[in-house]
Amino acid sequence: MARLPRLTLAGYPHHIIQRGNNRQVIFVDRQDFECMLGLLTENARKFGVAVHAYVLMDNHFHLLATPATTEALPLMMQAVGRSYVRYFNDRHGRSGTLWEGRYRSTLIQTDRYLLTCMVYIDLNPVRAGMVGRPLDWHWSSHAHYLGQRSDPLVTPHALYWALGNTPFARDAAYAELVHTGLDAKAQGALTESALRGWALGDADFVADLQKKSPRRVSQARRGRPPLAPQDKD
């Protein structure tokens, strides 16, 4: 069965996951992490993609980003992916593929899931048991949102700015969101939607998206369709 094309629309936040082939390590040391951040920063600007949050793990990475055009995100990911594989193979004396196929992504409903997805991304290293708190993991956007450093890759979303009237208030409000964390249902929904490519949001959001894309945006219900009223006895 042919794979569906990616669901990509301008002006909507997208949750993106790119994994190493067979879960292999894609960042060996600091130089590798810094190379990827440089490529993301350069190409996000070049193609018009606002990256709101990110985390680079040892064998995969997550992005939360809004493309200015429908083509912007695929072009950015293609450019970053190809450049990084060339760099990584040359530096580490290897050849062949590095990625687990194409990147996975989907659209998320802004008011319902954007801040939740940011928290999900920040907590990734903690869930993996790599650090005790998000701030201890250097390779994410978390420190930017706590006012600990200025990250040139990050473009805060309007929902983040709405968390407070001052930088201190915003930092504190966002820190509280991360401290509160996510329940298993929200974590699962964010992971599965990105991996499977189905839009994440309420029924009205999904219905509105379907009007804007010829590609199916949600999974069809399983089982037989319900009987029409005239068929019921």
Q: For the segment 135-144, what is each residue's pLDDT rounded down to a tens digit?
A: 999 999 999 9
Q: For the segment 181-192, what is each residue's pLDDT rounded down to a tens digit?
A: 999 999 999 999
* Residue 225 pLDDT: 47
Q: How far, in Å, CA of 153 to CA of 95, rounded?
A: 29
Chain centroid, CA 69 distance in Å: 17
* Residue 157 pLDDT: 97
Domain positions in the chain are 14-201
Q: Which residues of 62-89 are buried (b: 16+ CB within 10 A; e: fewer)?
A: bbbbbbeeeebbbbbbebbbebbbebbe
* Residue 221 pLDDT: 61
* Residue 7 pLDDT: 85
Chain centroid, CA 105 distance in Å: 7
Supply the pTM of this predicted model. Answer: 0.91
Q: Which residues of the chain have pLDDT under 50?
A: 1, 223, 225-233
Domain 14-201 has CATH 3.30.70.1290: yes
* Residue 214 pLDDT: 84
Task: Extract the runs of DSSP E, i.e. beta strands, from the chain.
Answer: 14-19, 49-56, 60-67, 104-107
* Residue 216 pLDDT: 85
Is the separation of the CB atoms in 171 and 146 below 8 Å? yes
